[in-house]
Structure 1
Amino acid sequence: TAATGFDDAVCVDAARDPVEALRLQAGHGVVVLLVSTTGDGEIPGNMVRFWRSLLRKSLPTDCLRGLHYALYGLGDSAYGHKFCAAARKLDTRLQQLGAVALTPRVLADEQNVNGGVIAPFGAWLEDLWKALLLRFPLPPGHVVDDTPSIPPEPASVTVASVEATPRGALDALLYSSAFHLLGLREPPQRSSVLQNQRMSAEDWKQDVRHMVFSSSITSPAPGPADAAQQCKWGPGAVAWVLPENHPVAVEYMCSRYGLQLEDVLVVQPRSGSGIPWLEDLCPALGEHGGAIAVTVGEVFGRLLSITAVPRPFAFESLALFARSDEDAEKLREISSAEGADLYHDYCYREKRGWWEVLQDFTSIDIPLPHLLGLVPRLQPRAFSIASVPRPAPSMPGGGTGVELCVAVVEFS
């Protein structure tokens, strides 16, 4: 934002009253809101406290007068009248309290064949910048330089000896003090797969699996050995599963960077690196001077979502590192608003992941530190528990099993 003449975004203290935090921005700031919808038209979990504060009957109808905001909603039109319900409710409530929309709200649809919820983002962002420049004119003589350029490396990455990290260090971190980075409210636990059996007919078009996990779970984090605890749940409960990337993708990324799975990387984020999960992760470890030591296999297998579909803006960043002018031009075309159809055909429809894009564009020579800043972290997957707590036949001692019904999705 510095290149456009605006100060960087200000993060509001989560302990502050949400409405009071908004009032502080009134008159001299703009609040940008990106709102998804969860479940059956429900408010996202991380928005509940904020939403409840806005619904207080004691709030004056003009308490947000002078506040300007921009709203981008994310939803799925397959849910009918509940499409982008959270974003629409928030938009209405903000205006009831006196806030004014700086730009028309955008309700992005996952069903959009030209890129899903990301399709209208570029045009919305362009309109937002124009509106900001009209409301907050730049100083005389200030020229906006939006020429794409390679930013400073967001972190330093060095290869260390295998002894630099104890076995299971990442487990100890993710399963204890830094579990919140996974978006979880409680530390995850390790469980065993007791059953993985196909439940759909062999001639049916989709492979649907009946999976049973043990519910006698123990923490993999080091420390005093605790007795296994029985997991308990009720109707509507959800099991979050921490995934790993496909070995083929992991092996390709290792070979591309000339590294081995067991090689140890010491990663130290620079101040203001723009990699929030990395900046939070390193202090939690408390070793190597605020850095984290992990194996290459852990980085590509468990930290980076290398099989995820890159967003359009990522292709513009990748173009900066392409040695071939032809590749750079094609990457910029994919990232542009005019290239929405190309992005859909090449990437979105085919569910082409980061590692496959790098495989196709061999001239991309992106250093590992920059890759850490571009590729998102691997997210846990949520599955509705399809059973009540009952004894699992495969569990010793008659323990209960967590049963999931999982549909396998394959892309060709």
Structure 2
Amino acid sequence: MSGFGRILVLYGSQTFTAQEIAERIWRTTKALGFRGPVQAMDDYPISKLIHEEFAIFVCATTGQGDEPDNMKNFWKFLLRKNLPATSLVKLKFGVVGLGDSSYSKFNFVGKRLHKRLMQLGATPLIDVGLCDYQHDLGHDAVLIPWTKDYFSKLTLYYPDIGIENSKNKFIPRWKVTLITANPMEGNRLIDDIYFGKGLHDGFVDPLLLQVEKNVRTTSEDHFQDVRLITLKSNVSPLHYKPGDVYNIRPRNSQEDVNDLFSIFEEHHIDIKPYYRLLVEQCHEDMPVPQFLSTPLTLHEIAEQYWDLKAYPTQYVFSLLALISDDKLERDKCIELSSPEGQEDWLNYCRRPRRTILEVLHDFHKTATKLTIEVLFELFSSIKPRSFSIASTNSVQQGRCLDLLVAVVKYYSKLKKPRLGLCSNWLKSLQPGDRVYGWIKKGTLVFPEDSVTPHILIGPGTGLAPLRSLLQERVQQNTATKHNMHLFFGCRYRNKDFHCREELEEYEKEEKLSLYCAFSRDQENKVYVQHKIAENASTLWHLIVTENAYIFLSGNAKNMPDNVRDAFVEDVFCKIGGLSKIDGKSMLQSLENCNRMQVETW
């Protein structure tokens, strides 16, 4: 590979998605003949940025428009007022933002970074790419055409790069070698591969907690299983505030792990669960993560590292096309990985939620060509999941936290039920089981004073962060029916009213005003937005006269927009007498000053 020059690829990621996307972009730069590292922004020596000519930045937006933890120092440096406006005149760049359009500050970090780099004299090769998690195609809807356009613009500086030829090159991140072993050597207790050997991530402070309780909060005849899981620290008190989240990285089920190795066995591929994996650096700009630097068994990798429940992206099919020697399957993989094949990919993968394992069964001739090098690029890594903490740390000496988890199980056109990886793993945990996780600042930030009224809207498991706040205010003896107003919704009062006894007790003791919407307990469906409309006068008074805050938590699909519409039409227009335009403007101003905050998923 001749090598054209250097392209810096930096990422700021809260859930490791930005890192994975940055590595995908890095593979393209390597295939084209460029060099340059892919790093977290805070790992990069930012003083060297003035010498860079080309860079790509991939950054997620977190919280209320906040930058991720591994970007904070980088961003703080860029905001220095004493930086000359010509600091980055050599730099030609592109920014990819990762966001969720259900939040008001959609891709706020990507937009700000793009603008700040220009203020410092850098030249954008292309406009900022605003990826939206809510899109049918996910981030790829924007990422794929954005990447194509970026490298097309790069030909103005490097006319000889062969963009089309690069698609036929397989660029592994690391050198991966299997070490055969005796079956008995692999029969040992599997520890956590990320933190179990005393390893530590610079951006994560791991906690080893023990499951104390795992209780179903819905009735046994209800269609959905929701769990209230209590995790306990046996070492030191936990430190968290209402609104904070607990991050946890799940494990694949034994059924899926067995299925993977059955594919290898069926196709006579010599990859056994007890073999060990040696991962070594093969590019100076792609170091091996610390947790992979010690040989792990394939069973450990299959259980804890590869996401066996993930549905394959179009990129996965481009990799399968490279290894397939069956014309029919190869042509289909090429089609499913092409821009023209996006609708076919949606219908085959995304809409029915077909997993990577199911794809390998379908493309069984291509699966015979799998190697350990290909597998390491084919499977995405298991991402941590974030759950709002549903308790206060002012009880049990601050050693416990609760999670309110809806176990994901549903059906698509495929015969086998679709199971959420993390929720079903959490469901399987028994008292005494130990798990690693870490506490992070959450999206919702509650006022410190105990006087300001709170309008809390949390249907279903959206109750979690609101319960944390309620418990804390009750413990502090500052909760009253005048300053705590909770709108809760579920299907049936007697089947899925989470934490019912606790909430009704708060209401009885006049520590809470409770407004419940049970959508299926009567002929006409009643949702939280209907309860907002019914109590519009009270809400108008709380917002306008008492400067109340609004906190909305729950499913991102339809509920947030319906709640927003109820505030505009029923509270601000019907009661407040505003026009619809002014009502929307009032709601927007509340969001802008964080008097209305939203946490959805």
TM-score, with length taken from structure 2: 0.57
In the other structure, the counterpart of 2:434 is: none
In the other structure, the counterpart of 1:330 is: 332
CA distance in 2, matches of 1:332, 1:385: 44
In the other structure, the counterpart of 1:119 is: 141
Bigger Cα Rg: 2
SS at match of 1:70: strand
CA distance in 2, matches of 1:211, 1:359: 35
Are residues 1:369 and 2:373 paired?
Answer: yes
**1:341-398 alpha-carbon deviations (Å, 9 max, x no partner):** 1222222223322212112221222113320232122222221211112556xxxxx8
In the other structure, the counterpart of 1:281 is: 291
Are residues 1:86 and 2:90 paired?
Answer: no
Contact kept in structure 2, 1:76 and 1:83, CA below 8 Å: yes
In the other structure, the counterpart of 1:195 is: 213
**Mapping 1:5-84, distance limit 5 Å:** 6-10=33-37, 17-18=45-46, 20-25=47-52, 29-80=53-104, 82-84=105-107
What displacement does 1:68 show? Answer: 0.9
Q: Is 360-369 or 144-153 further displaced after alignment? A: 144-153
**Mapping 1:11-410, distance limit 5 Å:** 17-18=45-46, 20-25=47-52, 29-80=53-104, 82-113=105-136, 115-138=137-160, 145-146=165-166, 148-149=168-169, 154-162=175-183, 164=185, 167-168=188-189, 170-171=191-192, 174-180=195-201, 185-189=204-208, 191-200=209-218, 206-216=224-234, 228-258=235-265, 263-272=273-282, 280-283=290-293, 285=294, 292-294=295-297, 296-363=298-365, 364-365=367-368, 366-391=370-395, 400-410=399-409
* Distance of aligned partners of 1:215 and 1:310 in 2 relative to their CA distance in 1, 3 Å threshold: same
User: Structure 2: which amino acid aligns with 1:377?
Assistant: S
List runs of 5+ in structure 2 lacking aligned partners: 1-28, 412-601
What displacement does 1:110 show? Answer: 1.5
CA distance in 2, matches of 1:98, 1:146: 31
User: Structure 2: which amino acid aligns with 1:237?
Assistant: D
Contact kept in structure 2, 1:250 and 1:297, CA below 8 Å: yes
Higher relative contact order (CA 8 A, sep 6+): 1
**1:281-310 alpha-carbon deviations (Å, 9 max, x no partner):** 343x3xxxxxx032x332211121121222
Q: Is 308-317 or 143-152 further displaced after alignment? A: 143-152
User: Structure 2: which amino acid aligns with 1:187?
Assistant: P
List runs of 5+ in structure 1 lacking aligned partners: 217-227, 286-291, 393-397
* Distance of aligned partners of 1:166 and 1:362 in 2 relative to their CA distance in 1, 3 Å threshold: closer
* Distance of aligned partners of 1:274 and 1:375 in 2 relative to their CA distance in 1, 3 Å threshold: farther
User: Structure 2: which amino acid aligns with 1:298?
Assistant: E
What displacement does 1:250 show? Answer: 1.1
SS at match of 1:62: coil
**1:75-101 alpha-carbon deviations (Å, 9 max, x no partner):** 111113x11111011111111111111
What displacement does 1:208 show? Answer: 2.8
What displacement does 1:14 show? Answer: 5.3
User: Structure 2: which amino acid aligns with 1:21?
Assistant: K
CA distance in 2, matches of 1:15, 1:251: 38
Question: What count of residue pairs does the alignment treat as equivalent?
Answer: 376
What displacement does 1:316 show? Answer: 0.7
**1:261-295 alpha-carbon deviations (Å, 9 max, x no partner):** 98422212243269968553343x3xxxxxx032x
* Distance of aligned partners of 1:34 and 1:389 in 2 relative to their CA distance in 1, 3 Å threshold: same
CA distance in 2, matches of 1:261, 1:2: 28
Contact kept in structure 2, 1:154 and 1:370, CA below 8 Å: no
**1:89-138 alpha-carbon deviations (Å, 9 max, x no partner):** 1111111111111012211112222x111112221111111111112333
User: Structure 2: which amino acid aligns with 1:106?
Assistant: G
Q: Is 127-136 or 235-244 further displaced after alignment? A: 235-244
CA distance in 2, matches of 1:128, 1:169: 43
SS at match of 1:119: helix
CA distance in 1, matches of 2:341, 2:84: 46
SS at match of 2:276: strand
CA distance in 1, matches of 2:359, 2:79: 45
CA RMSD of aligned residues (A): 3.1
SS at match of 1:107: strand
